[in-house]
Structure 1
Amino acid sequence: MSFSKWIGAALGWSFGGPIGAIIGLAVGGMVDSLGKEMGFEQQPKRIYRQQPVTQPGDFEVSLLILASIIIKADGKQDQRELDFVRQQFVSMYGKERANHAFRLFKEINRQQNISTRQVCMQIRQMMQHPSRLQLVHFLFGIAKADGVVTQGEEQQIHVMSGYLGISPADYESIKAMFYNSSDNAYKILEIDKTATNEDIKKAYRKMAKKYHPDRIIHLGEEHRKGAEEKFRQVQDAYEQLQKEREF
């Protein structure tokens, strides 16, 4: 598949708005012409009134743009973080599609004035909540790729999460999956240490439902692995508390 066909193959709402403008700038207007052929127009000021099903390409492009912002959050670009993005895309999409994605990523990465708020607000309006949770999980993975999540990276992801409509509890739950502390299991399950055993059981059922891989099945099997990782960490947190409390 050619680069132009790859871009046009699975994009829906990301052809419009600030994300479409970023893609268009990255590929020299290619997206604009493709969009017109497919019935989409660049509409930076468009107000979205309904939330369609996110296409795999919409998620992919959103991820590339947010990843670019995170990688530059600490004032430098670490090769380990770049390699993590590439490896994840190879794992999810295969080598050919990953090469196309990384080519676009490098062009996006050259842009200096990307509005985090505008991009996130478009994603919030158009992307389902489980998919947005998956985005945040992936962004922490990028930040942790060099071994540590810096303060600047964590602050940037926190800001993004707010714009994306992620609740503080959900944000802390995902964040806890990338840190080592004695109360991580409680944070992942969105409860505190005063919770009863019954509270823990209820929290586990709630979180298992929220993070179940089937919640993002519309994004394709390639994203199931990331969803399964979140789901596994919820299970691990529950099993850890079961062991500690012996119930």
Structure 2
Amino acid sequence: MSFSKWIGGALGWSFGGPIGAIIGVALGSIIDAMSNGNGDKFLGEGKRTKRTSYNTTQRPRTQSGDFEVSLLVLASIVIKADGKQDQRELDYVRQQFATMYGKERANHAFLLFKGISKQKVSKRQVCLQIKQMMDHASRLQLIHFLFGIAKADGIVTQDEEHEIHIMAGYLGINVRDYESIKAMFYNSSDNSYKVLEIEKGASVDEIKRAYRKMAKKYHPDRVIHLGEEHQKGAEEKFRQVQEAYEHLQKELKFN
């Protein structure tokens, strides 16, 4: 798969709005770099994806490519949050993309990421576009992935958490959902309660109801439209919900 074929066939609504502008600048730098090579024509191969207007009132179906580019843009913000680009975080992004999409597609993504990471990105504009165009379950998956990047070097710094918190707000993620995902990346005696979005001291019945609710919210089938590669990522959140529930079962001795 050539780079042009990947771009031409993978993306939908993310070609419009602020994200589209960011992609355009990144592609421009790539085209300039490759113009001295074999003359590959970008966007000239592969299945064309009809662009969706950024201002549409009807939310289009988010494609895998749209999610992929959204990850790259937001990841570039998180990685630079503490004033440096840690190689472990970059390796984490590459590894996750290779796991989800395969080595060749991951290489294409990183070629685009290099162009994105050189730009100054408006968190608000980008996140508001994603909020308008992407379903809630997919936005939760974005936040989970961003925390994974931040934790790749062993700790989520205050600056990184601050950036993710701001983006979560722009993405329309409520406080309880945000704290639930955040708790999956910190070690605390109260984490199991936070993951299940309940207060410490909740009754057994409340814990069971919370587990059923969260298992439904984080079920991998909620992002089935993004493709099998993203279901694998969603399985991690689902597993952590199960572990939180099992921890409370053992701690409080109930079945």
Counterpart residue type for residue 127 of structure 1: M
Name the counterpart of 2:6.
6
Which residue does 2:173 correspond to in 1?
166
Aligned pair partner of 2:70 in 46, 62, 72? 62
Distance 1:38 1:127, change over 3 A: closer
Q: Is the 8 A contact 2:197 2:210 kept in 1?
A: yes
Distance 2:49 2:92 in 1: 33
- The Cα offsets for residues 161-193 of structure 1, whole Å up to 9 and x where unpaired, read as 000000100000000000000000000000011
- The partner residue of 1:148 within 148, 151, 155 is 155
Alignment partners' CA distance in 1, 2:49 and 2:199: 50
Q: Give the Cα separation in 1 of the matches to 2:188 and 2:162.
A: 19
1:40 aligns with 2:51: yes
State whether structure 2 residue 238 is matched by structure 1 residue 238: no
Q: Residue 193 of structure 2: which of 164, 186, 199 is its match? A: 186
For residue 40 of structure 1, report the CA deviation from its aligned partner: 3.3
Compute the TM-score of the two structures, normalised by the length of structure 1.
0.94
Displacement, 1:90? 0.5
What corresponds to 1:219 in structure 2?
226
Matching residue's letter, 1:57: G
Whole-angstrom CA distance in 1 between matches of 2:176 and 2:58: 26
1: CA distance, partners of 2:63 / 2:244: 31
- Greater displacement, 142-151 / 7-16: 7-16
Q: Matched residues in 2 for 1:94 and 1:226: separation?
A: 14
CA deviations on 1:90-145 (whole Å, 9 max, x unpaired) are 0000011000001101111111x210000000000000000000000000000000
- Partner of 2:28: helix, strand, or coil? coil
Which residue number corresponds to residue 200 of structure 1? 207
Distance 2:89 2:128 in 1: 25
Structure 1 unpaired stretches of 5+: none
Cα gap change, 1:177 to 1:110, in 2 (>3 Å) = same
* RMSD (Å) for aligned C-alpha atoms: 1.6
Residue identity over aligned pairs, in percent, reads 75
How many equivalent pairs are there?
Answer: 240
Counterpart Cα distance in 2 of 1:82 and 1:48 = 34
CA distance in 1, matches of 2:230, 2:56: 25
Assess if the C-alpha contact under 8 Å between 2:183 and 2:191 holds in 1.
Answer: yes
Unaligned ranges ≥5, structure 2: 32-41
Please state if 1:79 is matched with 2:90. Answer: no
Instruction: Give the CA deviation at 1:39.
Output: 4.7
Q: Equivalents in 1 of 2:212, 2:49: separation in Å? A: 43
Aligned residue in 1 for 2:17: 17
